[in-house]
Amino acid sequence: MRRPSLNSREVSSSRKHRRIFADNGVAMCVDCVEKEYPNRGNICLESGSFLLNFTGCAVCNKRDFMLITNKSLKEEDGEEIVTYDHLCKNCHHVIARHEYTFSIMDEFQEYTMLCLLCGKAEDTISILPDDPRQMTLLF
């Protein structure tokens, strides 16, 4: 699974908020979230926003709904990758970059999510009628 790596933190002198830059150059704002990359267990969101983790926009100081922009879907080596940006509805400040992946490996569907706002999560679901992981040995 491809994951955006976080390679630097920077303090903007004009706005005084901390940002994380992903490898793709998208700036994400750690001052807009309660917790960076919260562990969401197996809750993988293909769309939407985890508003409980949103403390408010660090630029305009408003706590409102978000816009989802730059949504893209691409397939890479049998893996579907959905990416989009979470933006402040009022000032269009970029809060986070969201990445969701889906793939089929053997008899399982695998889902992952990685987002500063929505968190990190993984889930695996059997495509068979009876999940082989849940089968008990009968002797």
Over residues 39-92, the pLDDT tens digits come to: 999 999 899 999 999 999 999 999 999 999 999 999 988 899 999 999 999 999
Q: Is 103 exposed, middle or buried (0-12, 13-18, 19+ CB in 10 A)?
A: middle
pLDDT value at position 19? 56
What is the distance between the alpha carbons of residues 131 and 25, in angstroms, rounded to a whole number? 40
Question: Taking 60 as the threshold, does the pLDDT of residue 15 lie above it?
Answer: no
pLDDT at residue 66, as a whole number: 93
Instruction: Check whether 27 has a pLDDT greater than 90.
Output: no
Give the residues across from 52 on adjacent strands.
Answer: none
Q: Is the pLDDT of residue 139 over 60?
A: no
Instruction: Retrieve residue 49's tokens.
Output: 């926003």
Sign of CA dihedral 39, 42, 46, 50: negative
Domain 20-124 has CATH 2.60.40.4240: yes
Q: How far apart are CA 73 and CA 19, in angstroms?
A: 25
| Terminal alpha carbon distance of the chain | 38
pLDDT at 26 over 60: no
d(CA 103, CA 125): 11
For position 126, what pLDDT does the model report?
86
pTM of structure: 0.76
d(CA 135, CA 60): 53
pLDDT of res. 135: 66
Q: What is the pLDDT of residues 96-134, one digit of tens each?
A: 999 999 999 888 899 999 999 999 999 998 887 776 677
Position with higher pLDDT, 10 vs 20: 20
| Model confidence at 7: pLDDT above 60 | no
Of 14-18, 35-39, 50-54, give the lowest mean pLDDT range.
14-18
